[in-house]
Amino acid sequence: MTWKITPIQHNGTSRLKVEFENIPALNKKIRSISGALWSSTLKSWHLPDTVESRTQLNLFDPRLELSKTENDEREKNLSSSGVTSEIIEALKQFEYYLQSKRYRANTIKSYKDALLSFLKFWLEKPISELDVQDLLVYNNEYIIKHKLSASYQSQIVNAIKLYFATVQGSKMDLLQVHRPKVPKKNPNVLSKEEIKRLLTSMINIKHKTMLTLTYACGLRCGEVLNLKLNEIDSNRLVIYIKDAKGGKDRMVPISLKLVEELRDYYIKYKPKIYLFEGITKGEKYDERSFQSVLKQGIKHAGINKPVTLHWLRHSYATHLLDSGTDLRFIQELLGHKSSRTTEIYTHVSTRELKNIISPFDTL
């Protein structure tokens, strides 16, 4: 089986065009990747050109993805693809370790895939013999050569350091393992006027409520979709976000205006368990469908920017900062572990910039 990944510009956004043999099981796997869309124009699948997409696609070997059961079948396929029994055992032990440390399922998968990428590169070399020089070669001859991102490289390093810290008799000197310089990019933000245009362009009450809640509370996509009815306290005017990123719980305030919108939505749709459910009652709304909702809303609002759901969260934080909210409170509202993460919004806030007078104006 052959497949090909090509970076492209599609409808004004950076995408990854994915071409492979037309096999139903492979189509199903591609559809499971966040942001995957089929283009009748391109006659292929395409994904957002992001670190997350590249991470998932990097090791998407069609020979491995046809398994119908989880662990046993995956191990068989790994063996049939040429992966040694030593690597298979290493991955099993690494997963066992990560589970004991209570890492999340998505993190475990990402770390295992990252480690597998490195070990497959040195397929013929015993794991115990791998050292920092081997990692240096891998970085240059694989990651940089294939133009993979610095963020992906950093994830590889995290997985390797964590794994080799548990290997007895390893030659990998962890003190010499370096992380790449990751470019510091400012968050993408919509103006209040653009947010208003987006929300007022939504005709469907459910779709409008989903986007409104995302912006009004600065929630992540997964936090919106995982939100249950009993986690909304209209009396205290708060929403309880349970087991969010990093395993943390937090509370975010909601306004009476938002409560009224949520009540109108509830009366019409009457969800059973999750606040936003799909066609089947009791099952949460699909992430790809949510992304499609935003895409259509952006189109109807006439906003010519490659907006993602996370832009709404960035906009929420920036607009709070613009209005004078203390950075420490914003950190708590967003659920950031470090204040340094929240400080990125100071680079896009216009609150202080408005007070700066250009020397041109005093001529």
131, with CB counted inside 10 A (0-12, 13-18, 19+), is: middle
Out of 313, 314, 316, 319, which one is annotated catalytic?
313
Q: Which of 31, 248, 257, 310 is catalytic?
A: 310
Respond yes or no: is residue 220 known to be catalytic: yes
- Would you call 250 a catalytic residue per the annotation? no
Which DSSP letter does residue 284 get?
A: B
- β-strand pairing of 13-20 with 44-48: antiparallel
Clarify whether 74 is annotated catalytic. no
Residue type for position 199? L
Would you call 146 a catalytic residue per the annotation? no
Spot the catalytic one: 74, 245, 288, 300.
Answer: 245
As a whole number of angstroms, the distance between CA 70 and CA 148 comes to 28
Q: Which of 111, 152, 265, 345 is catalytic?
A: 345
The torsion angles phi and psi of 331, rounded to 5 degrees, stand at -60, -45
If we measure between CA atoms, which residue out of 357, 330, 325 comes closest to residue 218? 330
265 classed as catalytic: no
Residue spans of alpha helices (H) in the chain: 24-31, 51-58, 71-80, 85-100, 105-121, 132-138, 150-164, 192-200, 205-217, 221-226, 256-269, 287-301, 309-322, 327-334, 339-342
> CA 9 to CA 140: how far, in whole Å?
26
Residue from 17, 284, 295, 336 carrying the catalytic annotation: 336
Residues 6+ apart with CB under 8 A from 15: 7, 8, 9, 46, 47, 48, 49
Q: Which of 335, 284, 308 is nearest to 34 (CA)?
A: 308
Of 46, 112, 220, 314, the active-site residue reads 220
Taking phi first (over 0 means left), then psi (-120 to 50 degrees means alpha), and beta for anything else, what does residue 357 get?
beta
340 is catalytic: no
Four-point Cα dihedral 197, 198, 203, 204, nearest 10:
-160
Catalytic positions, written as ranges:
220, 245, 310, 313, 336, 345
